[in-house]
Structure 1
Amino acid sequence: MDTGVVVSERRAASTPTRRRGAALEKAITDAAWEVLVEQGYHGFTFEAVAARAGTSKPVLYRRWPQREDLLIATLARHWRPLDIPDTGSLRQDALTLLRAVNAERARTVILLRVRLADYFRETGTTFSDLRSRLRPADQTPPFERLVDRAVERGELADTPRSARLVNLPFDLVRHDMLMRMGAVPDEAIVEIVDTLWLPLLSRSPHSAHSGR
């Protein structure tokens, strides 16, 4: 074989493919996620992400002018939306959703709490604020959708309910995840739904005030 051909083939093999558009952004946000997991928000810098992604800082700045912009883009790509169950039963919907949260989100929730501690201190925001930013603006929170469906099916009365009450199961499971630093036992999920949430949802506003 011609020596020149061999050299050309070796050069082609060693030259990285030029990335553009979505492929480049995916490579950058993948690298950014790795940096965040390894070094936390303190080490989440344009320099570190650019080096990990094999690109330059100006490439990052053109897409995300501020470090927070890059952080939100990175989290949005790695915070996979959960499927909203529709089993025909509010209880089963709630259990299915909470079990999915428990299986798929426990490690990520704990990781973000720990790795983003500096971010929350620096910005004066909370995990709930961050979760709201990651959720599409036009998307109804999961448990609100479950309750709305239950009302449409006639399982629940169509009465006003506070967001705190509607989202109580998720808040309690997330709290238990953080207290345990891991997944929540299934019996705790069942207890939250059966002994706390469903009875509270079924109470009418009149009965809720009558005991005062």
Structure 2
Amino acid sequence: MAAERRRGAVLELAILRAAAEELAEVGFPGLTMDGVARRAGTNKNAIYRRWPSRAALAVAAYRQLAADSAELPDTGSLRADVLELLRGANRHWSSPLGDVLRGLLAGVGGEPELLRELQEASNDGGSALWLTVLGRAVARGEAPPEALHPRVATAAVVLLRNEFITRGAPNVPESVLVEIVDEVYLPLIRGRGARGPTSARSTSIE
């Protein structure tokens, strides 16, 4: 008796899993629609109906690989929360999955929408995660409301990415993570308060 034909969400998940396995094995440069189709036991048309390009499929596959996204710390301290997020991101970027991510960032750099999806899906945490951590700090009185801006919230992890992407660091030392937090991130947060209408209010970031 012939196997039941897969359709809809079942087939889509099979394709994503196959693409994720291919991506983990060969990286973005070696990823092909033919290879994914063979592994998924389907044809290229079924893939193209869902993802219009190799890059779009690769980003979706990476999202499947990174399904266990960065945990949201809640230590009661902004400094400790940010350090925990950076440590998790550091482990991720130092792992084989980090190699996959670096290849994807280079490969989809010319497609802003895919790049945004990839950055949001990465285990270093998208802007929503960082805004949540910062929002908690605002509620505790540790940070001024003016700091709640996506570019401000993600500044620390952007600096960490820079260590890997532009400097080629295989792993970033703990001392650098602390420096990013203490010398750049927390002063930036304080500075946002000094520029806003609540500058007279004292904020404490321990």
Task: Please give the range of the TM-score, normalised by the shorter of the 2 chains.
Answer: 0.7 to 0.9
What are the ranges of 5 or more consecutive residues in structure 1 without an aligned counterpart?
1-11, 207-212
- Which residue of structure 2 lines up, in the alignment, with residue 145 of structure 1? 132
Which digits, 9 at most, give the CA deviation of each residue in 1:144-199, with x for residues without a partner?
22211111111123335654332211011111123244221111111111122112
User: What is the 5 A alignment of 1:37-186?
Assistant: 37-80=24-67, 81-107=69-95, 108-114=97-103, 117-120=106-109, 123-125=110-112, 129-132=116-119, 134=121, 141-160=128-147, 162-178=149-165, 179-186=167-174
Seen in structure 2, the aligned counterparts of structure 1 residues 90 and 119 have a Cα distance that, compared at 3 Å, is closer
Mapped to 1, the partners of 2:133 and 2:76 lie a distance apart of 10
Deviation, structure 1 residue 36:
3.0
Cα separation, partners in 2 of 1:105 and 1:149, compared to 1, 3 Å? same
2:199 aligns with none
- Mapped to 2, the partners of 1:146 and 1:174 lie a distance apart of 19
Aligned to 1:9: none
Query: 1:146, 1:67 → 2: CA distance?
Result: 34
TM-score (norm 2): 0.73
Alignment-derived partner of residue 7 in structure 1: none
- State the shift of 1:131 in Å: 3.0
State the alpha-carbon separation in 1 of the partners of residues 28 and 6 from structure 2: 26
Kept in 2, the 8 Å contact 1:39–1:115? The answer is: no
Cα contact 2:18–2:40 (8 A) shared by 1: yes
Structure whose CA Rg is larger: 1
Instruction: Tell me how far 1:129 sits from its aligned partner.
Output: 2.8
User: Aligned-pair distance for 1:102?
Assistant: 1.1
8 Å CA contact 2:138–2:145 kept in 1: the answer is: yes
Closer/same/farther in 2, CA of residues 69 and 19 from structure 1, 3 Å limit: same
Which sits farther off after the overlay, 197-206 or 109-118? 109-118
Aligned length: 188
Identity of aligned residues (%): 36
Q: Determine the C-alpha separation between the residues in 2 that align with 1:75 and 1:46.
A: 15
User: What RMSD, in angstroms, separates the aligned Cα atoms of the two structures?
Assistant: 3.1
User: Residue 195 of structure 2 aligns with which residue?
Assistant: 205
Please give the secondary structure, in 2, of the residue aligned with 1:63: coil
List gaps (5 residues or longer) in structure 2: 197-206
* Aligned residues of 2:164 and 2:170 also touching (Cα < 8 A): yes
Answer 1 or 2: which has greater helix percent: 1
DSSP 3-state at the match of 2:12: helix
Contact 1:41–1:117 under 8 Å retained in 2: no
Write the letter of the residue equivalent to 1:71.
A
Instruction: Call closer, same or farther: CA 1:42–1:89 in 2, change over 3 Å.
Output: closer
Give, in whole Å, the separation in 1 of the partners of 2:114 and 2:195: 30
Letter in structure 1 aligned against 2:145: D
What's the TM-score, normalizing by structure 1? 0.71
Counterparts of 1:89 and 1:53, CA distance in 2: 46
Partners of 1:152 and 1:56 in 2: CA distance:
52
Are the equivalent residues in 2 in contact too, given 1:37–1:111 (CA < 8 A)? yes
